[in-house]
Chain A
Amino acid sequence: MSDAADLYQELILQHSRTPRHFGPLPQATHTAAGDNPLCGDRYQIRVQVDENGIIRDGAFEGVGCAISKASGSLLLDAVIGHSRDEFERLFQDFHAVVRGDEQSPAAIARLGKLAAFAGIWKYPARVKCAILCWHALRGALAGEHSATTE
């Protein structure tokens, strides 16, 4: 029995207990709510994007489970300082792995620390927790004000 220990790895637990980039972002240029009505998870994600399309800073706040919170924290860790296009590529790579469509060691390694979520496809009900903040950020960058992963 896996006992979910593969899911709740130390890195995920750390980021859920003390998430990074957690709070407001007054200088934000883009923001959106991420809402999973099924879980009651609800976050507001904010980023500051400069004229070159680089995500200069980002923050999120709200309530949710350990998986969604850790994912928001690690997501912002990964994208701050990178371009919108790089975020979009990471979005695709992350989705392919967490949905279980792509599980090659190379694809998982490309995710860096986010590889901690690579086993979540074995918990289908939790995949949407892992991608909630990602959809919110993508929505914010597209000028939408909310995203949902019901």
Chain B
Amino acid sequence: MEPSTGILPPMNKPAPQPLDPVAIRREFACYRQAGAPLVYLDSASSSLKPDCVIDAVANHYRQTPANIHRGLYPMSEAATAAYENAREQVRRFINAAAREEVIFTSGTTDAINLVAHGFGNALQAGDEILITGLEHHANIVPWQLLRERRGIVLKVVPITPAGEVDPTDFRAALGPRTRLAAFTAVSNALGTETPVAELVALARAAGAATLVDAAQAMACCPVDVQAWGCDFLAFSGHKLFGPNGVGVLYGRRERLEAMNPFKGGGDMIRAVTYERTTYNDLPYKFEAGTPPIAAAVGLGAAIQWVEELGLPRIATHEAALVAAAIEQLAALPGVELVGRPRRRRSIVSFQLAGIHPHDAGTILGTNGIAVRAGHHCAQPLMDYLGLPATIRASFSVYNTPEDITALLAGIRRTQEILG
């Protein structure tokens, strides 16, 4: 996909310099302060935070800790400006048409729940919502709760044995009652990159709205909501080198305007009497209460940091690492890769023959290697695969080929202890 933020280098320039993960590590306190070598292969759970993000959050609290949209004094005005500047940074990063289409939430889960209420509560019994077999619990459970509230039908597009979503299967599952197709851009469990633009086009052709779960995609692929054509897109700050507690819902303006608020409270109103409340304009209609101001400012700093590194360079770096990891893991006796998607981003899941993933995770962990061992909040996917859990290694800007070497040594040590 072509980057479209206008920040990234145009494609006719010479190939950009590869990322230097060793230099990047110097910007991370947890690498500088680690007593033993840190082999962090769990960025798909949460990425580490560079100094500039930590500083942005700390400086916000030091300099402009006042509330926003309220105070008639300079500190509050400065806080408001910083918060709204973060919104503009997000808008540019995802190429939304307008800042009103960017809603700050507490994370991806909160964003999807907002849609499940604001959009979902207007649905009728028998209306259908389509998800795929790759989804995280955050893109399953809100629809099950909606099913209890409204009697909607939740349909699941099965995945292929390779762990992919076949557009033909997706098209076949769309029907005249499909109101929303909600699917992930990158599987957090298998690393599969779904054909987002194609799936969105199929859903739109069937008259359905679309929600893209971009939680796992934001830090590794350029995201362009207008090129994708989706109605909604959700992501979290903490997987994008930003703080916990902040995320984003992008919504196409006409969709958001048609929706009722999710949460009621201050800031989302224009006028309140005991008889009647007039809601505020977008985006504030969906931002009840004091939002995570400092975290949003930190997310803005994270986005700027990512833009300076350049997503195409990040993607190239991570593609090389994940390819090397797959090659080396596949060559190791007793290792079984889980999922063989042709388009994959930064994540590899695997099993060790005869060894439970949690035992492996504990031994790898005590050897200084941080991986995720578990069901990755995707139990239906694990059930489909017939596995209780997998071991997942995920790669980011600060990872090196030496991290893969350490992972392989850790696996051999695990096999030695438990074999």
Contacts and interface: CB of A to CB of B under 8 A. Distances in A.
A4 B362 contact: yes
A63 B382 CA distance: 15
Interface in A32-85: 37-42, 63-67
Contact of A8 (B365, B368, B374, B418): B418
A40 B375 contact: yes
Contacts of A42: 388
Nearest to A66: B359
Contacts of A66: 355-356, 359, 418
Contacts of A37: 379
A1 B36 contact: yes
B367 A8 contact: no
B358 interface: yes
Interface string B365-381: 11110000011000100
From B358, B375, B417, residue with most partner A Cβ within 10 Å: B358
B362 to A, nearest CB: 5
Nearest to A5: B417
A1 B367 contact: yes
B156 interface: no
B366 A1 contact: yes
Contacts of A65: 356-359
Nearest to B361: A125
Determine the interface band of chain A, counting residues with CB < 8 A from chain B: 20 to 34
A129 interface: yes
Interface in B172-187: none
Contacts of A7: 362
B367 A129 contact: no
Contact of A40 (B365, B389, B418): B389
A126 interface: yes
B363 A4 contact: yes
A101 to B, nearest CB: 21
B413 interface: yes
A42 B388 CA distance: 10
Nearest to A120: B362
B368 A126 contact: no
A2 interface: yes
A42 to B, nearest CB: 8
A5 B379 CA distance: 30
Interface of A: 1-5, 7-8, 13, 37-42, 63-67, 123, 125-126, 129
Closest 7 CB pairs of A and B: A40-B388, A65-B356, A4-B366, A65-B358, A4-B363, A66-B359, A65-B359
